Structure 1
Amino acid sequence: MSTGHVEYARLDGTHIFKLIGEVRAQSCISLDKLLARIEQQDNVVGAIVDLTQTTFIDSTVLGVLAKLGLKLKQAHQIQAVMLSTNPDISTLANSMGLGQVFVILNYCGDPNICTKTLLDEHITHQAMLNTVLDAHKTLMRLNENNQNMFEPLVKKLEKQQDTMDAVSNQQNV
């Protein structure tokens, strides 16, 4: 179970995401859904991902953040900013290729930024599977090392998704 969470705020077209504590896959379903809504907006002028209070971040969350960075670049021609004070998290983010889609800055600012907690929506196994799969596919697109590292996991998750789809189709017949 995750002991962290994601907070979100928006100010004049700038979207702020603050990840606090140990942020794992369970915490990013709502974030992934929010990204889909942001992608459709016209008035997006910037994005900041604040990792200054993040103590742990898993690969699914990194994949969802990579997706954010890629979508902002593609849909809005914006390079998002990632703030980090933890050298381990900065190194991990850079090693996964997030430096290609974010400007990663070491930051020691006011930790009391006005954000509100993104509430974890009802998490189904299917929603979790879809988010984890999509996040890792996004990481795989960033570089060859990620491609090699996550390909076995993605194949396993795709097989699990196919099995769930087949069961769902049989139940609907």
Structure 2
Amino acid sequence: MSEQEQVLFASINNCCYFKLCGELRYTNATGMDDLIERLFSTRIECAQVVIDLNQATFIDSTYVGLLAGLARYCQQQQLPKPTLFSTQSEINELLFGLCLDQAFQIIQQPTTVPPDNLPGGTLPENTTDIATQSYSEQQQGRMILRAHEALIALNDKNKAEFQPVVNLLKQQLK
């Protein structure tokens, strides 16, 4: 049986903290996508982004693309590179393989290392469990497309790998 995906979020002292747990797949990414969209529309004050993947057991390309979109948001807002914690070797191999180290400060340590503005580096007490949103098939397709476009924007290697997926999605969404 697969581990249930869980997205926890807190905003403390303008630091947006994400804790992503379990299997992170496109089929359960709608809550994360909705939260990122709210960040992009500046309904959440955010001067720094910290992502904790230490309890993630699997991450697919759509979720990696959502993370790339978060990094793009930080760059557009002239924020520091987001910090990403991950001690999972398979996940780290994927993150480095897709060049997310260009967009994130990746720390391969447990989150007991205190990130700025998060005392003790522990999970803030006032985290919100972000629920999966009800997306239509069209909305989910657009989310997957946006995520893969964010991956392509990172570098030419990703473009070569994911351009066929993007082209197919664009064709299907017409």
* TM over 0.5, shorter chain: yes
Contact 2:34 2:133 in 1 (8 A): no
Q: Identity, % of aligned pairs?
A: 29
Task: Output the CA distance in 2 between the equivalents of 1:20 and 1:43.
Answer: 24
Number of residue equivalences: 162
Contact 1:29 1:127 in 2 (8 A): no
Task: Output the CA distance in 2 between the equivalents of 1:61 and 1:89.
Answer: 11
Contact 2:30 2:134 in 1 (8 A): no
Contact 2:11 2:46 in 1 (8 A): no
Unaligned runs of 5+ in 2: 113-120
Task: Output the CA distance in 2 between the equivalents of 1:50 and 1:21.
Answer: 12
> Which amino acid in structure 2 is aligned with residue 129 of structure 1?
G
Residue 124 (structure 1) aligns with: 136
**TM-score (ref. length: structure 2):** 0.85
Residue 171 (structure 1) aligns with: none
Structure 1 stretches of 4+ with a deviation exceeding 6 A read none
Cα root mean square deviation, aligned: 1.9
Residue 159 (structure 1) aligns with: 171
Task: Describe the SS at the equivalent of 2:133.
Answer: coil
Task: Output the CA distance in 2 between the equivalents of 1:135 and 1:118.
Answer: 18
1:30/1:133 CA distance change after superposition, 3 Å:
same
Which structure has greater helix proportion? 1
Q: Which moved more, 1:35-44 or 1:153-162?
A: 35-44
**TM-score (ref. length: structure 1):** 0.86
Task: Output the CA distance in 2 between the equivalents of 1:78 and 1:139.
Answer: 19
**1:44 corresponds to 2:28:** no
